[in-house]
A and B are shown apart, each in its own frame.
Chain A
Amino acid sequence: MKISASQEDFSRGLRVAGRAVAARSPLPITTNVLLSTDDGRLKIAATNLDIAISTWIDATVAEEGAITLPSKLLSEFVDTLPNAPIDLSVKQGSQSAHVSSGRYEANIRGMAADDFPIIPTATEQPAATIQASLLKEMIEQVVFATAVDDTRPILTGVLSTFSGTELTLAAADGFRLAMRKGELAEASSGDFSVIVPSRTLAELARVVPDGDAIVEITVTPNRNQVVFRTTDLHVVSRLIEGAYPNLKQIIPTKFSTKVVVSTGDLLKATKIASFFSRDNSNAITLEIQPGGEAGVGNVVISGAAAELGEDRGEIDAVVNGGSAKVQFNSRYVSDVLGAVQSSQVGLEISGPNSAAVFKPIDSVDYTHVIMPMHTGAR
């Protein structure tokens, strides 16, 4: 094997594939990346057996071949080299690569490419396609709401529902729920839902190219794997099996008080209150006061912990309905405010113990539900 590639491309390719490298593994080869020549390009692939990422970079291929090399060492070396072409060669039958650039060179010992786990590929027609930048935005708006622990494995995934020309991503951890709808580039072939591990989507959002690139989404016929594909990137992941909770029953449709506030103002007040509520289970209180005739009310956001003290922040609000008082986990509130992407946010409340709905005011595509905290006096 003998190739040459730019330091910039090589470094980027290793960084992208490196997201799927196993940190520690009983199968040592999975801490390596697989380098192979592929139709005039260099393919860099890695897998931790849950997720696999393959990416292709431009390269001058002088001699075909393949090898696996330790991901960490190779990335560190390539990242630090000057911005100049890098030559990589592997002697026939050798399991060691010679990597050189200008006045630097290294011999890096690896393992045979044949021993690398087989990464599944999708040969079928894609089930749906979507613009990469939109998919990335959608993922970032929901993925943080997935469960972090494995008590209910289904909730560690994102419910991805393809219906006609629409994709809906939904994530929930039992305490909150985030749901985002988006337009597919091409209508999906049939309506279906799959549950994709949140880690897969988080990595996908990180490595997918910005801009107009189109992502093809394919589900394997046995329904246990999904492949996200662009011209120079494949992300393959297992799917989570099981039945996702019925979200229609969870999202409130009625409310008694609706507030519209500046997203930035509420975020700042939440952040300040969170400092004071840190030792009080992160509970912050929102008190909503309707305005008089002018219609401008306010929201007072406060945090308190017995040993520390308390704070009070007031922001303007357009309030429909009566006054209300509700407690939330400050982190849940800052998470949603960081995700809404609009300068103003609507908050629909129906009581101190009922789920509250956050929505950007300029879009119907995003819905976020947060369950309040109880006051502790029970």
Chain B
Amino acid sequence: MDARQGPGETPDLSREPPSSPELTSVARPGGFPERAILHLDLDAFYSSVEQRDNPRLRGKPVIVGGDPDRRGVVATASYEARRFGIRSGLPAVTARRLCPQAVFIAPRFGVYRAVSETVMEVLQRLSPTLERIAYDEAFVDVSDRVRAWLDADSLGKSVKRDIHGAVGLTASIGIAANKITAKVASDHQKPNGLTIVASGEEARFLAPLTVRKLWGIGPRAEARLATEGIERAEQLAAASAEWIVARFGHQGLEWQALARGVDSRPVASGEKRRQISREETFAEDLNDIDSLCAALKRMSDGVISDMRTYPPARTLTVKIRYANFTTITRQISPGTVMTAQSVPDHARHVFMDHWDGRPVRLLGVALSNFVEDAPGQLKLF
């Protein structure tokens, strides 16, 4: 924490995310020889956005959701409000009783959606294999980037930094060899946490948790397990298959797999891929043509390197943000698909046609409008 920041003062959200002392792994260093899955969960998403946009709300219990006078429910409660026992799904009127001083705010879904889009774009830079579960939550398959524990550590930290830089919010991240473990890990040290569970450490990590913490075990399954005295993951993990099947049927074995941290489900990028993009905010505003063209080339190269695993794209977009923050995006759809040869040319032409000569703060190049059903190159490693 910044030494100048006393208690009660609001955190300055334009700064780096405060590093919490718990930013460490609970498992011993080890690797990810096969898969590495990152799960990201934005911390108290809706209420954090409201606190970000309205400094007067910072440090106060904020409840985003329905009107307490009209039988609304809580969508998100800020961490300050959670101290009063307020949780998502609670009737707003109950929330008001628990915490009369809470500030109730009607949700601004348009804003949340836009913030979510930006966050997903940051995540998509890691890998196109992204599964968005909610506005504030997604899995990314980062197997290509993460082999060693240290890879996971530096990736997790850089994602948190990038997201804070892009939207001014903190997120909690779990990185593990499969989805169930990554999901539980991201919840492990909220808010602003980073929890890494190396391959092979899943069962040990999950063991002390209550079964309800396992993603996939809901209140009813929890109740059924409780009738047989199973409350913690390790109990479920240790039971014999016969015992489980006799009491809970085959579904019980699925629960047990969760408790053992066994999960082979792939990250399902069900959503259509929207774009491949690169952008760069310059340390100093640029207005000399050579530096700008060099930056454009860098971004084109980045886009080209991602192109091979995507279907062919028909549209190229150049984004220019001037020093005064006015931003323009201009695109070209030349009628043929983009190739590694044509991307730099198109990018340069679009830029030269639309740049008005003023200093540029940010440049971006993106490909979109993919030819769906086109063949794509599979990765060897």
Contact = CB atoms under 8 A, between A and B. Distances in A.
Interface of A: 149-151, 172, 174-177, 245, 249-250, 279-281, 283, 327, 329, 353, 355, 369-377
B378 A371 contact: yes
A374 B375 contact: yes
Interface of B: 301-302, 304-305, 308, 311-312, 336-337, 372-381
A371 B379 contact: yes
Contacts of A375: 375
Given A149-B304, A376-B311, A353 B378 contact: yes
B378 A377 contact: no
B305 A151 contact: yes
B231 to A, nearest CB: 41
A174 B311 contact: no
B75 to A, nearest CB: 35
Q: Per DSSP, are chain A's interface residues mostly helix, strand or loop, or mixed? A: loop
Given A149-B305, A151-B305, A281-B311, A174 B380 contact: yes
Q: Per DSSP, are chain B's interface residues mostly helix, strand or loop, or mixed? A: loop
B367 to A, nearest CB: 14
A377 B373 CA distance: 5
B373 A376 contact: yes
Contact of A374 (B301, B304, B376): B376
A4 B366 CA distance: 57
Given A149-B302, A375-B375, 16 more contacts: A149-B301, A174-B380, A175-B308, A175-B380, A177-B380, A250-B381, A279-B337, A280-B374, A280-B375, A281-B375, A281-B377, A283-B374, A369-B380, A371-B380, A376-B311, A377-B373
B375 A327 contact: yes
Nearest to A352: B378
B336 to A, nearest CB: 7
Nearest to B303: A149
B305 A175 contact: no
B377 to A, nearest CB: 5
Nearest to A329: B377
B131 to A, nearest CB: 14
28 contacts: A149-B301, A149-B304, A149-B305, A172-B381, A174-B380, A175-B377, A175-B378, A176-B380, A177-B380, A249-B381, A250-B381, A279-B312, A279-B337, A280-B374, A281-B374, A281-B375, A283-B374, A329-B377, A353-B378, A369-B380, A370-B380, A371-B378, A373-B378, A374-B375, A374-B376, A375-B375, A376-B374, A376-B375
Nearest to A249: B381
In the A-B complex, the 4 residue pairs with the closest CB atoms: A283-B375, A149-B305, A371-B380, A373-B375
Contacts of A377: 373
Nearest to A279: B337
A149 B343 CA distance: 14
A172 B381 CA distance: 9
A355 to B, nearest CB: 6
Contacts of A250: 380-381
A338 B296 CA distance: 34
A170 to B, nearest CB: 12
B380 A281 contact: no
Counting chain A CB atoms within 10 Å of each CB, the highest count among B304, B305, B373, B379 belongs to: B305
A283 B337 CA distance: 14
Nearest to A377: B373
A354 to B, nearest CB: 9
Given A172-B381, A279-B337, A281-B311, A373 B376 contact: yes
Contacts of A279: 312, 336-337
A370 B381 CA distance: 11
Contacts of A151: 302, 305
A190 B232 CA distance: 54
A315 B49 CA distance: 63
B244 to A, nearest CB: 34
B144 to A, nearest CB: 8
Contacts of B380: 172, 174-177, 250, 355, 369-371
A376 B376 contact: yes
A370 B377 CA distance: 10
Counting chain A CB atoms within 10 Å of each CB, the highest count among B372, B375, B376 belongs to: B375
Counting chain A CB atoms within 10 Å of each CB, the highest count among B304, B308, B373, B381 belongs to: B381
A304 B100 CA distance: 68
A370 B308 CA distance: 14
Contacts of B376: 281, 373-374, 376
A295 B302 CA distance: 48
Nearest to B372: A376
B278 to A, nearest CB: 11
Contacts of B308: 175
A176 B305 CA distance: 15
Contacts of B381: 172, 174, 245, 249-250
Contact of B378 (A149, A245, A372): A372
Nearest to B340: A148
Counting chain B CB atoms within 10 Å of each CB, the highest count among A355, A370, A376 belongs to: A376
Contacts of B301: 149-150
Nearest to B337: A279
Counting chain B CB atoms within 10 Å of each CB, the highest count among A177, A281, A371 belongs to: A281
Contacts of B312: 279, 281
Contacts of A374: 375-376, 378
Contacts of B375: 280-281, 283, 327, 373-376
A141 to B, nearest CB: 18
Given A149-B304, A151-B302, A371 B336 contact: no
A334 to B, nearest CB: 15
B83 to A, nearest CB: 45
Nearest to A328: B377
Counting chain B CB atoms within 10 Å of each CB, the highest count among A150, A174, A249, A355 belongs to: A174
Counting chain A CB atoms within 10 Å of each CB, the highest count among B301, B308, B377, B378 belongs to: B377
Contacts of A281: 311-312, 374-377
Contacts of B378: 175, 353, 371-374
